[in-house]
Structure 1
Amino acid sequence: MKKLLCLLFLLGGLQYAHAQDSTIAKLDTLLSTYNRLYKFNGTALITQHGKILLHKGYGFRNISEGARNDTGTIFQLGSVTKQFTAVLILKLEEEKQLSVQDKVSKYFPDFPKGDSITIQHLLTHTSGIYNYTNDRAFMESEVFKPASREKLMALFKDKPLDFSPGTKWNYSNSGYCLLGYIAEKAANKPYEQLVREYIFNPLHMTHSGFDFKRLDNKDKSTGYFFINQDSSKVAPGVDSSVSFAAGAMYSTTRDLYKWHQAAQQYKIISKADWERAYTPVKNNYGYGMIIDSTNGKRRINHGGGIHGFITTLIRIPEDDVCIVLLDNASDNTIGRIGESVQSILYNRPYTLPKVRNAIQVPEVKLQQYTGEYDMKGFTITVAVKDGMLTGQPSGQGPATLYAEKEDFFFLKIADVQIKFTRGENNEVNGIILYENDRERTGAKIK
């Protein structure tokens, strides 16, 4: 009987090991395929039930140096920073240095309507404060320069509120920068020092910080607007004083896994306060985190985007799932990758991205597609340049369109395809634009 039980346990263990090996292979195939298509260039860490299933770099940390991403590569995080700011605020509240019910006017007496905006409103994006990253002129010319508190606050302080505080939801980087300034006033220390003292140091997050632009480290990644087989474009660095408590943090996959483990063990702040952070207020948003569900289990996640980088951190506490995807080539496909990773972990259907192969089309044939197309809200100008077809949406630069088959073209720098339509005389009369599983039609107007 004992031999039979041992055999059953052995068989069960082998089956589990085989299933785990299969999961790991699927995860690596998924990320490798996206990497070959230039739609994931970064480092991934994926865990389930406390075990690291995959921890691997894909693509280049720095193209000009031929340096590849690995498990130690350092990336900017963008808005993944917000959950660290939120937990810092809760920690300061535990130490009675502030309260989430405090009014903004307590810290900035001259802030317009500051007596009706609470710290909780800032944490949950329900303050109505104008989002300074919507200021196009500032984002195009000023984000690369150091900005004082006064300069940054001037971008949103005197703007009308989008709505009465607490009544609606609107994402506001301004609100999170203000949280950083409030933390500094409450604790009488710089925001970055507070995060280091309360979070980074206790968790031994030794490769995390804020001033990425001036970071001197061989593992530091270069941020790119795009990378493809033909070219790449380096993105200029955003100054940490501009993104500040809303998005300035840099880190590694390994350090973010330490953060996940701390949350699992209710470290830094109490279990009750972690639960407060996880409680949605409006629009599935808690304190610096988006809370929804997958497979009937609570999912906590947040993405981030900053010049040259796009990131996501997904956690499913019940199954000790942690998915960290850090990309230094700015491809918005990262959200779809995260969903596919979850599908693999939970044995749900998923599809690998399609590998599209370009064919050569004579320039004389490409001329039939040129013209302007009305997309109801913007136009796309199609032209031929250096023997290649290009598409240029209004307000943007031109992008090369590669032919996959007759009348069907695709971009390599984004998940975008264009199908040209024809009328009764077989003349091109419009296009169908496919982008991230959505489609819209446009008529040829010139």
Structure 2
Amino acid sequence: MKKSIMNRVATAKYLVAALVVTMALSISSAYAQVQKNLSAKLNEYLDAHLGQGTFSGTVMVTEKGIPVYSKGFGMADYEKQLPNGPEVKYRIGSITKSFTAVLVMQLQEQGKLNVQDKVSKYLPSFPNADKITLHQLLSNTSGLPDFVNHWQNVNTKPATTTDILALVKDMPLEFEPGTKWKYSSTGFVVLGQVIEKVTGKPYEKVLAQQILKPLNMKASGLEFSKPVAGLAKGYNHDGIDRKLAKPIDMSWCHAAGAMYSTVTDLAKFDAALKGNKLLSEDSKELLFTPVMKDYGYGFVIDKAGDKQRISHSGAINGFKANFIRFPEQDIAITILSNYESQQVNGPISSDITAIVLGDKYEVPTVHKMVNLSPEQLAPYVGEYQVGPKMVFKVTLTDNLLYVGAPGQDTFAIFPEAEDKFFIKVAPAQITFEKDAEGKITKMLMVHKGRAMPAARIN
């Protein structure tokens, strides 16, 4: 009898163990299928943008700190045919601001500064320093003019922070500090100076000692004047041909945008922001609390649907970048591109987020360009009235039509038929209508289902 009971107990234990294993395998299989579906959707979407010439770079998605998707598209160096991938380094532009903000909060925890301090406490000779706080610099509410709007003719030679700030230091504040919000890289260069003042060290050493080395971010740093091994080349592909981006000396970006990194390293940064390795919970609450316009300290805090999103984007010659976090879902998305494509920080970022979250998105159509002669393109040149105060001007340069409006950049439109064109800088198409005599009378731009008709006025 005793042996029979023991046998039944052993059998029951075996059945329970077998059930647990079966359930685990079932869950694992289901998760693998979800991951496979995610990869298939992202591959299809990004392959389409690669084919269209609107994306080149690497994308990583992590869940609970574990990569569930990591893949490069196109080339890090098209001349040498070196492929993009997780270990390729990219300029990340203004994502640097997020790191600068973390450094400031660390120094506050160390008692070396306070975000409510006036700038004059650290940089007494800086104009309006007695009006502006570190809090306002961090949150883009300082009123300082953005030096990036004034660096075009000087940014190819090395610069110090003094050189950078000299571009705007004599300009008046754009508004009384704390009353409005306006994005300004100037404030983060000033924060870089404050960091150097209170630590007695160059910004790049503080960054390395307090963030990069503790997180083992060996593939990240500041790109000043010396070349960085393994850094992708930056390109512009808005025209017919892919071209190297305009040169820039990255010392001009300093604490506002001079960093390079990889998707792998930025995943480490995301993981560290979840715990207390970099900052206390109180400091992170300040970092991730919007002050104005959904902007906290070096991070944008908004929502994608009903899900909280913490993010920052970057744009610098030849590169676009997105660092996106969903803390409640424990998901992070990093998009690093070595194309200046305007779609990266717009539709591509939005669509990749939608794919990851299971929301609606649209795979872009890969348009095929046809060759039209200058004589065929010339009839489209002219002005088109969109609204009472908006006129599109169509011009012809080097056998390519360009569309622009007063005060805005022009963009190329590429023919896929004699009267039908597509755009690379946005997911949009343009068609032209003719009258009975064959004269162009109207231009119709369609963007995400929205039609913008424009009547020809000359």
TM-score normalised by length of structure 1: 0.91
Q: Match for residue 349 of structure 2?
A: 338
Candidates 129, 148, 153, aligned match of 2:165:
153
Check conservation: 1:391, 1:401, Cα contact below 8 A.
yes
Q: Match for residue 315 of structure 1?
A: 325
Q: Deviations over 1:262-297 (max 9, x none)?
A: 111221111221121011111010010000123533
Q: Match for residue 99 of structure 2?
A: 84
Aligned length, in residue pairs: 439
Distance 1:413 1:352, change over 3 A: same
Q: Match for residue 300 of structure 2?
A: 290
Q: Match for residue 28 of structure 1?
A: 43
| Residues 240-249 or 280-289, more deviating | 240-249
Q: CA deviation at 1:46?
A: 0.9
Q: CA deviation at 1:320?
A: 1.7
Check conservation: 2:77, 2:233, Cα contact below 8 A.
yes
Q: Deviations over 1:43-78 (max 9, x none)?
A: 111112333111111111111112121221111111
CA distance in 2, matches of 1:276, 1:398: 40
Q: Match for residue 402 of structure 2?
A: 391
Q: Match for residue 100 of structure 1?
A: 115
Q: Deviations over 1:369-410 (max 9, x none)?
A: 23344565565233375xx44225378998654322342112
Q: Match for residue 60 of structure 2?
A: 45
Distance 1:345 1:412, change over 3 A: closer
CA distance in 2, matches of 1:128, 1:384: 39
Candidates 327, 335, 341, aligned match of 1:325:
335
Q: Match for residue 5 of structure 2?
A: none
Q: CA deviation at 1:156?
A: 1.9
Distance 1:109 1:436, change over 3 A: farther
Q: CA deviation at 1:426?
A: 4.5
Q: CA deviation at 1:350?
A: 1.2
CA distance in 2, matches of 1:170, 1:87: 21
Q: Match for residue 56 of structure 1?
A: 71
Give me the CA root mean square deviation.
2.5
CA distance in 1, matches of 2:425, 2:308: 34
Structure 2, unaligned stretches of length 5 or more? 1-14
Check conservation: 2:161, 2:254, Cα contact below 8 A.
no
| Residues 118-127 or 8-17, more deviating | 8-17
Q: Is residue 144 of structure 1 aligned with residue 156 of structure 2?
A: yes
CA distance in 1, matches of 2:245, 2:35: 38
Q: CA deviation at 1:311?
A: 0.5
- Structure 2 matches for 1:202-351, cutoff 5 A? 202-211=214-223, 213-217=225-229, 219-226=230-237, 231-334=241-344, 335-351=346-362
- Secondary structure of the structure 2 residue equivalent to 1:318: coil
Distance 1:374 1:28, change over 3 A: same
| Residues 407-416 or 390-399, more deviating | 390-399
Structure 1, unaligned stretches of length 5 or more? none
Distance 1:155 1:383, change over 3 A: closer
Distance 1:189 1:28, change over 3 A: same
Larger Rg: 2
Task: Give the fraction of aligned pairs with identical amino acids, expressed as a percent.
Answer: 36
AA matched with 1:156: V
Distance 1:396 1:297, change over 3 A: closer
AA matched with 2:334: V
Distance 1:187 1:400, change over 3 A: closer
- Secondary structure of the structure 1 residue equivalent to 2:188: helix
Q: Match for residue 6 of structure 2?
A: none
Q: Deviations over 1:387-437 (max 9, x none)?
A: x44225378998654322342112346545322133465421232344677
| Residues 93-102 or 18-27, more deviating | 18-27
Q: Match for residue 380 of structure 1?
A: 393
| Residues 75-84 or 394-403, more deviating | 394-403
Distance 1:161 1:301, change over 3 A: same
Q: Deviations over 1:55-110 (max 9, x none)?
A: 11111111111212122111111100000000000111111111101101112223
Q: Is residue 71 of structure 1 aligned with residue 86 of structure 2?
A: yes
Q: Match for residue 130 of structure 1?
A: 145
Q: Deviations over 1:101-129 (max 9, x none)?
A: 11011122233322121000000001111
Check conservation: 1:420, 1:432, Cα contact below 8 A.
yes
